[in-house]
A and B are shown apart, each in its own frame.
Chain A
Amino acid sequence: MEKAIEVKGVRKSYKQVHVLKGVDFEVEKGSIFALLGSNGAGKTTMIRILTTLLKQDDGIVTVGGFDVASKPDHVRQSISLTGQFAAVDEILTGRENLILIAKLRHLKNPRQVADDLLKRFGLTDAADRKASTYSGGMRRRLDIALSLVGQPKIVFLDEPTTGLDPEARIEVWKTVKELSGGGTTIFLTTQYLEEAEQLADRIAILHEGRIIASGTLSELKKLFPQAKVEYVEKQPSLEEIFLAIVGKKEAM
């Protein structure tokens, strides 16, 4: 299998704090890869190195076939980043935000690109409203739409569902699955185990600056002690109840 991302022996320290202590992993082209870890595990540092925002102290990082440290401009041609906070221009409308990014990616028909993405993300009705009037979920959708302008081959999502309500979270999951179905490689970080379980083809667990386990979900499950059968009454979780009550109103 061809690799979209290769990371070998990456180290990064801020002064005395060693955030990454030799990280290795590979991401296959077209797959969804989840980097799982608690707060402060170094997930954001790793994603900042992969997206050319930060230089590693040591180790080799290749994204889309180019070395991140020596060919950042080439890497930027094939990636996009959706950060932890929705990076949308609040004074511009949703449509203008998309046109802005399309122009900056030097696409031929920015208006058309914007219209298509607005439609795809269910934002056509809100297209000409300022982004500051959007709800959290809409803002996140616009944010992800902005990342897809120009069809980057590798999409980075840094905690894409942190701070979203359950409905918006499921919307984001659906988008990620669709994207992946279209052949895009997706690298996401998350602190929610369920998110990794739902989405990822492969999962790596980052803990105290090292990858302590990685593999498919079933491979990871094998690391767990042999299952023993117990009978437990299944109670619906509050999330399931919440979604059952409100979920039907939008057939998204």
Chain B
Amino acid sequence: METVKNHFFSDMSVMLGRSMRHIFRSMDTIITVCITPIAMMLLFVYVFGGAIQAGTDNYVNYLLPGILLIAIASGIAYTSYRLFLDKQRGIIERFHTMPIARSAVLWGHVLTSVVSNAISLVVIILVALVMGFRSSAGVLPWLAVAGILLLFTLALTWVAAIAGLTAKSVEGASAFSYPLIFLPFISSAFVPTDSMPKVVRAFAENQPVTSIVEAIRALLSGQPVGNEIWIALAWCLGILIVAYLFAVRAFKRQAA
């Protein structure tokens, strides 16, 4: 009896190549993902920034981590959009009837999300540098920042995968990201939480964005990171695992 070889890695790289082509043929997606966070950064630094007492002499330094999270939250909406189209057009079904590693289809989309978000983040950081962002962090803290952002991207991408696979319409597939984009506003991303009313403050201090923002901010400014980084990692990993399990279940249901 002939055996069926598993080609997970080669299949996945073919899938990755496919979605990367999608991204480079629609650069508008990356531009769209970059423009809102950059506009927000300009608005907050040059319009509101003078009136905000954030406790740092350079408000861009304070603001950047939150801006990066907003960029990721809007960037992952495209993953769910692309997955939805693949599902709607029968492309997932075609792949499912072929002798290929099934999970390669999903992982191709997920890796694509990581790569395209990384591109947007680099663009935004470059703009921040022009606006006066400076960091005293060395190589290791920067790597730690990259690691946290990667985990956050992966976690939200799997959430996006659930939305893409279960949505009934294109709008539905990307609508889930709006609350995610809003989350940083009720956190310490733009202003310290001290001035917020009690209930709002309690929410702000105990939602994932605050710990992630604080951890990145501490790393970039060369401050001791403390507990925040562990709380941030726990949030990211927790969301990642739960979303992954649900996404894989939704994916298998496409073919069962």
Name A residues whose Cβ lies closer than 8 Å to a Cβ of B. Answer: 51-55, 73-74, 76-77, 79-81, 83-92, 96, 100-101, 103-106, 146
Give the complex CA separation of A232 and B206 in angstroms: 84
5 residue pairs A–B, Cβ–Cβ below 8 Å: A53-B97, A54-B255, A73-B4, A87-B94, A101-B98
**A104 near B91: Cβ-Cβ < 8 Å:** no
The answer to whether A92 touches B90, judged by C-beta atoms less than 8 angstroms apart, is no
Is A51's CB under 8 angstroms from B97's CB? yes
Q: Which residue of A lies closest to B7 (CB)?
A: A106
Once A91-B21, A104-B11 are accepted as A-B contacts, the answer to whether A55 and B256 lie under 8 Å apart by CB is yes
Whether the pair A80, B90 counts as a contact (CB closer than 8 A) is no
Within the assembled complex, what's the spacing in Å between the Cα atoms of A54 and B151? Answer: 34
Write out the residue numbers on chain A whose beta carbons fall within 8 Å of the beta carbon of B89: 85-88, 90
Instruction: Looking at the assembled complex, report how far the CB atom of B7 sits from the nearest CB atom of chain A, in whole angstroms.
Output: 6
Whether B90 lies near A83 (C-beta < 8 A) is yes
Tell me, rounded to whole Å, the shortest Cβ–Cβ distance linking B22 to chain A: 5
Shortest Cβ distance from residue B153 to the other chain A in the assembled complex, whole angstroms: 22
Task: Find out whether the CB atom of B99 lies under 8 angstroms from the CB atom of A76.
Answer: yes
For residue B25, CB closer than 8 A to chain A, the reply is yes
Cβ of B10 under 8 Å from chain A: yes
- If A83-B93, A92-B18 touch, whether A104 touches B100 (CB-CB below 8 Å) is yes
Whether B256 pairs with A87 at a CB distance below 8 angstroms is no
Query: Is A91 a contact partner of B11 (Cβ separation < 8 A)?
Result: no
Residue of A nearest to B89 (CB): A87
B227 within 8 A of A: no
Nearest-neighbour CB distance to chain A for B103, whole angstroms, equals: 14
Q: Does B201 contact A (CB under 8 A)?
A: no
- Tell me the interface secondary structure of chain A in the complex: loop
- Given known contacts A51-B97, A87-B89, A105-B98, what 13 new A-B pairs fall within 8 Å (CB)? A54-B255, A54-B256, A74-B2, A76-B98, A76-B99, A77-B99, A83-B93, A90-B89, A92-B18, A100-B18, A103-B10, A104-B95, A146-B94
B residues in contact with A106, CB < 8 Å: 7, 10
- Known A74-B2, A77-B4; judge A87-B91 contact (CB<8 A): yes
**How distant is A51 from chain B, measured CB to nearest CB, in Å?**
5
What's the Cα separation between A125 and B245 when bound, in Å?
Answer: 45
Q: Which of B2, B89, B98 has the most CB of A within 10 A?
A: B98
Interface size bucket, B side? 20 to 34
**Interface-central residue, A55, A86, A91, A96, by most chain B CB under 10 Å:** A91
CB < 8 Å neighbour of B98 from A74, A80, A89, A96: A80
Query: Which 4 interchain pairs have the tightest Cβ spacing?
Result: A87-B90, A73-B4, A76-B99, A83-B90
Chain B: CB-nearest residue to A99: B14
List, in ascending order, chain B residues with CB within 8 A of A74's CB: 2, 4
- Known contacts being A55-B256, A76-B99, A81-B97, is A89 close to B90, with CB within 8 Å? no
**CB–CB A104/B14 < 8 A:** yes
What are the interface flags for B20-31 relative to A under an 8 Å C-beta threshold, 1 for contact and 0 otherwise?
A: 011001100000
Asked if residues A104 and B98 are in contact (CB atoms below 8 Å), the reply is: yes
Q: How far is the CB of B51 from chain A (nearest CB, A)?
A: 45
Complex contacts, A85 vs chain B, CB 8 Å: 89-90
**Option from B10, B22, B93, B99 in Cβ contact (under 8 Å) with A81:** B93
- Inter-chain CA distance A158–B97, complex, in Å, is 13
Cα of A77 to Cα of B4 in the assembled complex, Å: 8
Distance between B112 CB and nearest chain A CB, rounded to angstroms: 13
> In the complex, which residue of chain B has the Cβ closest to the Cβ of A147?
B94
Question: What is the bound-complex CA distance between A105 and B99, given in angstroms?
Answer: 7
Query: In the bound complex, do residue B18 and residue A89 qualify as a contact, i.e. CB atoms below 8 Å apart?
Result: yes
The residues of A that contact B95 with a CB separation of less than 8 Å are: 104
Complex CA distance for A202 and B45, rounded to whole angstroms:
74
Q: Which residues of B contact A54 (CB under 8 A)?
A: 255-256
Q: Which residues of chain A come closer than 8 Å to B22, judged between CB atoms? A: 91
A53-B255, A54-B256, A96-B21 are contacts. A89–B91 as well, Cβ < 8 Å? yes
With A104-B11, A104-B14, A106-B10: A81-B4 Cβ-Cβ less than 8 Å: no
Cβ of B21 and Cβ of A80 under 8 Å apart? no
B97–A79 touching, CB < 8 Å: yes
Chain A residue contacts of B7, Cβ below 8 A: 106
Q: Are B94 and A103 in contact (CB under 8 A)?
A: no
How long is the Cα–Cα vector from A73 to B255 in the complex, in angstroms? Answer: 13
Chain A nearest CB from B13 CB (Å) reads 9
* Cβ-defined contact, B97 with A52, below 8 A: yes
B14, B26, B94: the one within 8 Å of A83 (CB): B94
| A80 / chain B contacts, CB cutoff of 8 Å | 97-98
Set of chain A residues within 8 Å of B25, measured between Cβ atoms:
91
How distant is the Cα of A101 from the Cα of B98 in the complex, in angstroms? 9
- B1-44: which have CB < 8 Å to A? 2, 4, 7, 10-11, 14, 18, 21-22, 25-26
